[in-house]
Structure 1
């Protein structure tokens, strides 16, 4: 099981942004399986949710890192059953690890402020890849995000992420698309994503087996 504990960065300067981030996560998770307990406020400007799908976890984490206003702690492991209706009332290894992870994440720079605790060395591998993806994304320009968001939308619609389709959607040349894609490291990101999802799924399998 995956527990995400997420704490706002710089809340004294920016005010309470919990409603906005809950809406953001709602958009990412809408219509997808894998949400065990919906995200909700735990205390102050901290939120928490429980998921059981590695791909969904990665998508949520990367959206939170893109926002750059959150420290993200991911705990992987067993949870005490039955789970209560709200995650803040739950317990288990995954919750303890998420708490430790978010405290470590607070020491990281924005854009890569994520930490993973899972009881094995594989957690360090997942954390390293998530931080790498976050760092890559933090360097993107608005033009880079425009092209990568367009390509992602094409894929989500079941269409190919052909550069000619992206060019038509944005009203720019295929050459301009190609340049933006290279600068944004889109292909490199797409190559890493399935790797981190696979490692995260294996980490969950390992911690569950270990708990049994």
Structure 2
């Protein structure tokens, strides 16, 4: 399972943005959350999901405005589940706590920690699902997104919603060539092409943590 913990950057000098982040993430990911999103200690936000695609999307959404240090923990969550995320426990929460602390010092303010390594299997190297390597790849996507301009985000968000480039051009009143140029500058295709592989790697980490959690 995946636990995402986000801690507001420089919270003593800015208003509490926790409720704003929770509202935005719940609006997009409500169906994928196993418990309601929660504000825990102070201005910290916590979400739990069983979905690798949702975990990755939540991380990318939470890191987008650079107001948050975001930690992704992969591990076991004790059942039966309580009625609130802040009451839940397990190795995924320990991993998420370590990750968010590491994120405060990391490029992109993102870090990942997994509760256990995946045992070696015939035909597969043990480091294929190494958490540090998955963390590095996700961080590259986060850093690509940090460099994206407002104009780049405008077209990238529409492309993410499934609109074709010609339709985006009509919606924005610009040429199809301009849309293509903005998407290229935003490195939209590089991001989109990387996400399926990252989802598979996260799912592999979760599978390993699940085996450890039941041993």
Flag whether TM exceeds 0.5 (same fold). Answer: yes
User: 1:26, 1:195 → 2: CA distance?
Assistant: 25
**Among 86, 103, 116, the residue aligned to 1:105:** 103
1:133 correspondence with 2:133:
no
1:1-212 alignment, distance < 5 Å: 1-30=1-30, 32=31, 34-109=32-107, 112-118=108-114, 119-120=116-117, 122-153=130-161, 155=162, 161-212=163-214
User: 1:185, 1:149 → 2: CA distance?
Assistant: 12
TM-score by length of 2: 0.90
Deviations 1:128-167 (A, max 9, x none): 12211110011011110111011112x1xxxxx4321211
User: 2:77, 2:23 → 1: CA distance?
Assistant: 26
Q: How many pairs are equivalent?
A: 202
- Once superposed, what is the RMSD of the aligned Cα atoms? 1.3
User: 2:71, 2:165 → 1: CA distance?
Assistant: 35
In structure 1, stretches of 5+ residues that fail to align are: 156-160
User: 2:191, 2:179 → 1: CA distance?
Assistant: 16
User: 1:145, 1:116 → 2: CA distance?
Assistant: 25
SS of the residue 1:79 aligns to? coil
Q: 175-184 or 121-130: which moved more?
A: 121-130
SS of the residue 2:5 aligns to? strand
In structure 2, stretches of 5+ residues that fail to align are: 118-126
SS of the residue 2:34 aligns to? strand
Q: Which runs of 4+ in 1 moved over 3 A?
A: none
User: 1:184, 1:18 → 2: CA distance?
Assistant: 28
SS of the residue 1:43 aligns to? coil
Q: Cα offset for 1:67?
A: 1.6
